[in-house]
Structure 1
Amino acid sequence: MSTKSTSPLRFLFLTEGVMKLMGGLVFVVSPQTPLSVAVAAPIPPSARLLARLLGTQTFTLGISMLLASTKTPKAVSSRRIVYWTVFARDATLVTVLTLQLLFGENSDALGFSAKGLRAWLAELMPFCLGHLWILTTKPHWF
């Protein structure tokens, strides 16, 4: 019998970690690039600042995911908490975006259009649901 793990979690951590590093860098270095989809020109400085702040979070979570993807015992034991942390951040963003879409005055939302908020929500939702699915139905992967 093989003792090799069949969990794809390490690969998922590596993949999402790299994606978060790249995405976070784009938001930090060139926030107008992703904001051009969600905010009408001219992009308010407050929206650029918000994008940079979220980019730093995303970049940092990418580093955490890459560190947790290693094969060391400490990294393996930290995977669950890292995954919960990433899920909590994404779920909070999804909640705030949904509330803004449903109840907010979108003309006041730092220049974000309803279409832009929906696009952002559509980008986050698959990750959020995927994390929740793994955390609740695949605990043996950790």
Structure 2
Amino acid sequence: MSEKVPVQVSVWSQQRAKSGERLTFRTQVAGTLYEKGEAIYVAYREGEDSGLGQTLTTLRIEGRHVTLIRQGETVMKQSLVKGEEQVGTYKTPHGTFDLVTRTSQLIVNINAKGGRLEALYNLRLAGDKSRMELKIDVKPL
């Protein structure tokens, strides 16, 4: 495992529900970037305004496969692979739900020095469908 590098993580996401309603979320937090084996990891705690409490979010980037893992009040594991449907899980105090993503666009330009990730995907959670757009910038502090 490489040395953990302190980074600034900027996250922008927009969720478009079937009804046409858009929810936009922005946050900027401190995190760490490190390599382990063939994968690059970006780990950060969600801000208080995320609605996720003190959730630890980890991005695992390995080639064209990105896994988003959240651990805290809710536990989530979501995979993004361009052109593929991936099934993950979303565990809450109210139960566990399947989380299905179909990624149409995935641009990963993150290395050991930082970079950017962009994704466009359809999300199905407990029967609700939405379109997600995600942009994450990682810069050394």
Q: TM-score, normalised by structure 2?
A: 0.26
**Structure whose alpha-carbon radius of gyration is higher:** 1
Name the structure with the higher strand share. 2
- Greater relative contact order (Cα < 8 A, sep 6+): 1
Structure 1 or 2: larger helix share? 1
TM-score by length of 1: 0.26
